[in-house]
Structure 1
Amino acid sequence: MKISSIFLYSLLLIFPCFISSQTCQNYCGKIPIKYPFGTGPGCGDLHFQPYVTCNDQQQLTFTTHTGCYTITSIDYNHQIIYITDPSMSTCACKQPSKGFSLDWNAPFSFSDDTTFALLDCSTSSSPIYKSSTDDKNSTFPLCDSKGDSICSLLYSCEAISRLSLPVSTCCVYTPVDLGPSFEMDLQKLQCTSYSALYGFNGQESNPQGWQYGVALKYKFNFDNDYPVICSSCEKSNGVCGNNNEQSFVCNCPGGLNTTTDCFYGESWSHGSKVSPRGTGAMLIFSLTWFIILAFIQG
């Protein structure tokens, strides 16, 4: 009975390693999760963890110092995430907003496809309107002149037109105009709201069909190199992660972590030198011996 008890104790120590749930998820809701993003601590790249998270409602969110925003989709081929701001104005609704900004040290930048339209700006005191050198009583906006058509179409929307705001109080800002800190403080700019779009959806003259939201570009690292070892991990149905010390970890189904992939992992995170493929055989072997010993002792 003593041998059986010792074996049972040993089995209980190793068994949880085989049945524990996968720590990192391949999906958050309906959005697939791939490197460099993750669904929790130890998942994805450390540099992206503070900004992209999967909440308890299985919603993927993007966080900056100006708020928390829903990620609607991710284009992994072009390294772009698309987010929506609930305080942003669209053709269907105009509402006050504080603006949108990126953290200066975040591994993100605005995509060239993103266009910001600042709405209901003060033409007399806003810093985006400068006094003319020829006539101090007149001002001219520091806006993209190519965006005049966007302003005109936005101000034709019922939600905006019923406020009787002049089109001249609309200023189109491209991402480069926001400066290196990517700060769009509407209070400082003295504008009450903004609209952002990243595509016209083939309906350039119909603002109701535009793609509203913010497109953000991301880079894997300085050289923008995708780690080959992570590609092998994902092909083996694993999720790329880290051990909070910037060391690579492949998180496999069952909660097993390897330093390679889920097919031929040579080193588990807990130090055993055995491939995850052999865990099933080991489990069956252990259970078989347990039954035999229990039968003998009985």
Structure 2
Amino acid sequence: MVVRIMNIIHPSMTLLSFLSLFFFLLIPSLMSAQTCQRTCGKQILKFPFGSDPGCGDPRFQQYVSCNQQRLILTTHTGSYPVSTIDYTNQVIYISDPSMSTCSCTQPSKGFGLDWNAPFTFHDDTIFALLDCSTASSPIYTANGLNTDGNGSKALLCANEGTPICSYLYSCRPISTINLPISTCCIYAPMDLGPSFEMDLKKLQCTSYTGFYSFNGQEANPENWSYGIALKYKFSVNNDYPISCSQCERSYGVCGYTGAYNSFICNCPNGLNMSTDCFFTAAYNNGLRLFLPWKNGAGLIYFLAWSILWVLL
């Protein structure tokens, strides 16, 4: 009976069945579960940031992650919530729970960036070191002199910092410490050195505060924007990847995966494509009606369709 059926199969039907089998095996290999999210809580995610491994730029994945719907920056000094991201100006704003502000004063170990992290301090960021030892802290001694490229030296505490310290000491939590204003030091990010390290124990300071905007009210520290502003770059030349632009125009999420960090465009329906998501639009409008792979019905339809062609 089997021989008789096989003898009446038209060659074109055999070829069609083979192509159908090939197509059936090929499409699932392009598909995967959706892993890249467009948001983390209320924070919109765009390249170079991502929600999960394989999403966004690999250089940023180890530093910025989505943890329980909260975007977190992690360095060797701790984990810090991301307040917001300015994608236009490529600035990420973070907060340090151990930082002193006009609302509270608390001890801190300081803040530091990993030397190979794709971030630098934004020029608007200002640090104020609080309760520093004027007798032994290196920021007040000859050992604390900062040498620039021309060989000249200057104290690490900025001369223009006195008014800022005065404003900070008008905050009730700071004023209740009853410390002399001379123990306050305005510490510019550039003075953190190539390791971007603010080690308060080494500097012999109890705490610090950081802010990146006076919000037009320099004399009112209660309304300052407290936190740390960090600048990031896409690459050495700071060029936005063309492949990423094409992917995002097709409503995909950029990512890099595998041992060689190969580019993928993660599409809304779960397909990981090597270019963009325009192919998946056709898939959604046409093929998906006949190939509902995710619920397993596609296998049944394919087998029934193939058997029907063979028996005809």
Range into which the TM-score falls when normalised by the shorter chain: 0.7 to 0.9
Task: State whether residues 30 and 272 of structure 2, in contact with CA within 8 Å, keep that contact through their aligned partners in structure 1.
Answer: no
In the other structure, the counterpart of 1:256 is 271
Q: Structure 1 regions of 5+ residues with no counterpart?
A: 1-6, 133-139, 264-274
Task: State whether residues 156 and 191 of structure 2, in contact with CA within 8 Å, keep that contact through their aligned partners in structure 1.
Answer: no
For normalisation by structure 1, the TM-score amounts to 0.84
In the other structure, the counterpart of 1:31 is 43
> Which of 29, 37, 48 is the aligned partner of 2:60?
48
1:136-155 equivalence runs, <5 A: 142-155=156-169
Task: State whether residues 33 and 271 of structure 2, in contact with CA within 8 Å, keep that contact through their aligned partners in structure 1.
Answer: no
Q: Deviations over 1:85-105 (max 9, x none)?
A: 000000010000000000001
In the other structure, the counterpart of 1:64 is 75
C-alpha displacement of 1:141: 5.5
C-alpha distance in 2, partners of 1:13/1:229?
24
For normalisation by structure 2, the TM-score amounts to 0.80
In the other structure, the counterpart of 2:281 is 277
Q: Deviations over 1:198-234 (max 9, x none)?
A: 0011111100000000000011111111111101111
C-alpha distance in 2, partners of 1:50/1:86?
21
Q: Structure 2 regions of 5+ residues with no counterpart?
A: 1-19, 144-153, 292-296
In the other structure, the counterpart of 1:271 is none
Q: Deviations over 1:263-298 (max 9, x none)?
A: 1xxxxxxxxxxx32332322323469829949x89x
C-alpha displacement of 1:243: 1.5
Compare CA radii of gyration and give the structure with the larger one: 2
In the other structure, the counterpart of 1:173 is 187
> Which of 91, 97, 109 is the aligned partner of 1:98?
109
C-alpha distance in 1, partners of 2:276/2:42?
24
For residue 270 of structure 2, give the secondary structure of its aligned residue in structure 1: coil
In the other structure, the counterpart of 2:208 is 194
> Which of 188, 196, 210 is the aligned partner of 2:224?
210
Task: State whether residues 269 and 280 of structure 2, in contact with CA within 8 Å, keep that contact through their aligned partners in structure 1.
Answer: no
C-alpha distance in 1, partners of 2:240/2:61?
17
Q: Deviations over 1:49-91 (max 9, x none)?
A: 1100001x20000000000000000001111000000000000
> Which of 12, 16, 22 is the aligned partner of 2:34?
22
Q: Deviations over 1:103-150 (max 9, x none)?
A: 001010000000000000000000001269xxxxxxx95310111111
Residues 292 and 181 from structure 1, CA distance in 2 versus in 1: closer, same or farther, beyond 3 angstroms? closer
Paired residues, number: 272
Q: Deviations over 1:241-282 (max 9, x none)?
A: 01132221111012211111111xxxxxxxxxxx32332322
Amino acid aligned to 1:277: A
Task: State whether residues 130 and 142 of structure 1, in contact with CA within 8 Å, keep that contact through their aligned partners in structure 2.
Answer: no
Residues 229 and 15 from structure 1, CA distance in 2 versus in 1: closer, same or farther, beyond 3 angstroms? closer
C-alpha displacement of 1:43: 0.4
> Which of 160, 163, 169 is the aligned partner of 2:177?
163
Root-mean-square deviation over aligned CA pairs: 2.8
Question: Sequence identity of aligned pairs in percent?
Answer: 60
C-alpha displacement of 1:22: 2.1
For residue 81 of structure 1, give the secondary structure of its aligned residue in structure 2: strand
Check if 1:290 corresponds to 2:301: yes
Residues 15 and 257 from structure 1, CA distance in 2 versus in 1: closer, same or farther, beyond 3 angstroms? closer
Amino acid aligned to 2:81: T
C-alpha distance in 2, partners of 1:142/1:258?
51
Amino acid aligned to 2:288: L
